[in-house]
Amino acid sequence: MKWDDLAQEPCSVARTVAVIGDRWTLMVLRDCFLGVRRFEDFQARLGISRTITAERLKRLVDEGVLRKVRYQDNPLRFEYRLTDKGHDLYPVIMAVVSFGDRHYAGPEGQPGAGPPLLHRHKTCGCDFHPVMTCSECHAPLVARDVETRAGPGARAAA
Amino acid sequence: MKWDDLAQEPCSVARTVAVIGDRWTLMVLRDCFLGVRRFEDFQARLGISRTITAERLKRLVDEGVLRKVRYQDNPLRFEYRLTDKGHDLYPVIMAVVSFGDRHYAGPEGQPGAGPPLLHRHKTCGCDFHPVMTCSECHAPLVARDVETRAGPGARAAA
DNA sequence: ATAGTCAGTTTATTTTCTGGACTGACGATG
DNA sequence: CATCGTCAGTCCAGAAAATAAACTGACTAT
């Protein structure tokens, strides 16, 4: 299987991974949710090759995750903003953050103990961590409690 | 910045992406949560180079996300199982699935409409989709309601 | 006139991925 | 007992992708 075939798979993971599933794209998205919008800022924060920054931003725009918004006319300049579809990736990023906080921020040595960033929920005013719950009974989800079966969009195997 | 430097960043996204942030690793994890355990099964389902399958599995084992369990002595054979740490990645995979279901499974054409897989929560008996909520007030999370600030594990910028 | 900002593109080199063959231990078939 | 099939890899050469660093080009500020 090659990269581009992923999007054709009858699998929601594959289709999503085809868009956001490489290292730098996820880092770009992290920065988007932190408010980064301009090419040079992505570039400076990521410290990767400009080629890749440009290519990844373009792909996210093509996929409708980001959109270019003109912020200056002369010379013509755009910034990159999350679309509604892009905002739907928030749970993905937060799930990743949550995993990282749990497993790579442990209070071991003195320096760097604890999570690098804290998240405050403005609605309730508390620092929180994200919890994935069932849309129906609202209980936290555990893999073992979930049964998977073919849905309407299934082909043969997936 | 290079690949291996990611793990050193004071950022939970970067540290996690350093482990799971490439296309095939995420696909491997999807299969793990679907119950796939053996090398040949990963290999056949992914249809990628055996080299990569082997390398990715090894990395996940090194990172403590999977562990090898002997299931046969002669010849010695192992299967790959999720560790507790690995199970903590469930929200990540489900968030990805959820995004894919919403944006790449739309009921457009007749064939392939709707999500490829359905998920049933055994606890409540319902088909569900995952909802990311605040650990404190239990309301669904929206990016705009979240404020981020430096935590104890921050260095300079992150 | 010179330097700096900003958003890229181009190029040459290095790294990674790919497909395919190969190893090696065993079990089943004829 | 010779050959095929299963399983879990490893090895290799060629193709594809990522990298660093220089370059373009339009403008602004000094």
Domain map of chain A by residue range?
Answer: 3-87, 90-104+118-145
- Nearest nt to B79, CA vs C1'? D8
Q: What is the pLDDT of residue B110?
A: 53
More confident residue, B111 or A153: A153
Summarize the confidence of residues A146-152 as an average pLDDT: 94
Contact A11/A150 with Cβ under 8 angstroms?
Answer: no
Do A121 and B18 lie within an 8 Å CB cutoff? no
Contact A69/A79 with Cβ under 8 angstroms?
Answer: yes
Residue A109 scores a pLDDT above 60 = no
Q: What is the pLDDT of residue B2?
A: 77
Q: How confident is the model at residue A23 (pLDDT cuts 50, 70, 90)?
A: confident
Give the separation between CA A138 and CA A62, rounded to whole angstroms: 35
Q: How confident is the model at residue A158 (pLDDT cuts 50, 70, 90)?
A: very low
Residue A152 scores a pLDDT above 60 = yes
Tell which CATH architecture fits domain A3-87: Orthogonal Bundle (1.10)
Residue A129 scores a pLDDT above 70 = yes
| DSSP three-state, residue B142 | coil
| Cβ–Cβ contact B113 with A under 8 A | yes
CB atoms inside a 10 Å sphere around CB A111 = 9
Q: What is the pLDDT of residue B34?
A: 96
At B123, phi and psi to the nearest 5? -60, -40
DSSP conformational letter for B138: -
Do B104 and A12 lie within an 8 Å CB cutoff? yes
At A122, phi and psi to the nearest 5? -60, -35
| DSSP three-state, residue B8 | helix
Residue B153 scores a pLDDT above 90 = no
Summarize the confidence of residues A79-92 as an average pLDDT: 98
Half-sphere exposure of A32 (CA within 13 A, CB side): 30
Q: Is the CB of B114 under 7 A from strand C?
A: no
At A31, phi and psi to the nearest 5? -65, -35
Summarize the confidence of residues B121-132 as an average pLDDT: 97
Distance of C1' in D7 from CA in B78, Å: 10
What would the DSSP string read from start to end of chain A? --GGGGGGSS-HHHHHHHHH-SHHHHHHHHHHHTT--SHHHHHHHH---HHHHHHHHHHHHHTTSEEEEEEEETTEEEEEEE-HHHHTTHHHHHHHHHHHHHHHS-S-SSTT-S-SEEEEETTTTEE--EEEEETTT-PBP-GGGEEEEE-TT--S--
What pLDDT digit, counting tens, does each position of A63-84 carry? 999 999 999 988 999 999 999 9
DSSP conformational letter for B87: H
- Nearest nt to A53, CA vs C1'? C8
The nearest CA of chain A is from the CA of B22 a distance in Å of 5
Residue A10 scores a pLDDT above 70 = yes
Do B145 and A121 lie within an 8 Å CB cutoff? yes
Q: How confident is the model at residue A101 (pLDDT cuts 50, 70, 90)?
A: very high
Summarize the confidence of residues A2-27 as an average pLDDT: 90
Average pLDDT taken over every residue of chain A:
92
Instruction: Output b/e per residue, A8-43; b: 16+ Cβ within 10 A.
Output: ebbbbbbbbbbbbbbbbbbbbbbbbbeebbebeebb
